[in-house]
Structure 1
Amino acid sequence: MIADKYAKALFQSLEPSQWEEVRQALRGLAEVARQPELLLVLKSPDLSVEEKSQYIAKLTGLNNEKFLNFVKILIINKRVDLLKPIYKAFNKLVSEATNTYEGVVEAYISETGIQLLEKELGKRFNANIKLKLRQKPVGGIKLFIDVLNVEVALIEDRLKEDLIQSILKAI
């Protein structure tokens, strides 16, 4: 995939100490790229490549020369539509290189519960796991770790139903 090639080129051009700041900048761009206004600005023939890259620098707050050159290449090659898949591929490369993976938990759960999940998942996958809590009334727990392809959902109603069935079988 083209996005993978761009992500790999960016990853290899950076020092390990720069990976995280560039990952955050790409994440921000991928989020903002969902808004058609940004894509219109980046595709506009009325603005020069330099003006567009300065706009990106202001938007991300990152003045990393390699990152800005990378953005210029995307603009010149008309690949700004690939910002989200490039971010996903770059995120995967950084995660694998650092053995640190990010995930999301959707539930009403305490910070202690999140820390326990991180610890147990870290043991299971032999990696550092960082979870963000998205409190939602899901009636259970949903866990997503995209790079590791982990998606788990424990729904309260389903657990109750399974428990009832187990009790009925035991009788």
Structure 2
Amino acid sequence: MDNLIAKKYAKAIIERTDMEDFYHRLSVLNSAFCMPKFKDIVNSSQIQKDRKLDLLNSFFEKANPNFINFLKILLRNSRLDYIPQIFKELQRQKALKENICQGVVYSKEALSDDKIKELENKLNLKLNTKIKLKNEIGQNDGVKIYLEELGCEIAFSMKAFQNKISEYILKII
């Protein structure tokens, strides 16, 4: 249900002419939600809604009346805590609109920017679409690339590779 609400807000934002400004502002607010103290303030019923709105607007040098109205709607409906979900959905819809597929590279160690760019370029050629990857550290020895929008997963595991070589050697003997 929460995701449906976020999708409706994101769909309304993506159709706006000032979508880039909304996207930037939501990005800033989304990063603020990483702080537990900020979440406590936003979710507190003891703090007046006007004070919460002032707090949210304090993140920006220049006020945007349309964005303020958007925040007022979220406040009125007690949905400020949906901002991270709305931002994530907006990010996804923006990527689809621009024909960019978001993906995640899971690896044991952080990959360099050059390696990520190289993977993106190779996948762009193979899948005939623009791929944007981000790196996440995992516990597995291999490397796994997951592209949710395309339903595609590419994995290389050292353990599986060693097993295949062992099987091959045993067949030869």
TM class, shorter-length: 0.7 to 0.9
Amino-acid identity (%): 28
**Secondary structure of the residue that 1:142 maps to in structure 2?**
strand
Q: Which residue in the other structure is 1:7 paired with?
A: 10
Q: CA deviation at 1:2?
A: 1.6
TM-superposition CA deviations, 1:121-160 (whole Å, max 9, x none): 2233432222233456642213244444444432222222
Q: Distance in 1 between matches of 2:146 and 2:62?
A: 28
| 1:116 aligned counterpart, secondary structure | helix
Aligned runs of 1:114-125 on 2, under 5 Å? 114-125=116-127
Q: Contact 2:145 / 2:153 at 8 angstroms: preserved in 1? A: yes
In 2, the alpha carbon distance for the partners of 1:65 and 1:47 equals 23
**Structure 1: distance between partners of 2:159 and 2:61:** 45
Alignment of 1:50-129 (within 5 A): 50-59=50-59, 63-107=63-107, 108=109, 109-129=111-131
What amino acid is the match of 1:157? K
1:88-127: per-residue Cα shift (whole Å, max 9, x none)? 2211210011112333323344443322210122233432
Structure showing the higher helix proportion among its residues: 1
| Structure with larger Rg | 2
More displaced stretch, 81-90 vs 141-150: 141-150
Q: Aligned residues, how many?
A: 168
Give the conservation status (yes or no) of the 8 Å contact 1:39–1:80. no
Deviates more, 1:108-117 or 1:21-30: 21-30
What 5-or-longer segments of structure 2 have no aligned partner? none
Distance 1:142 1:126 in 2: 20
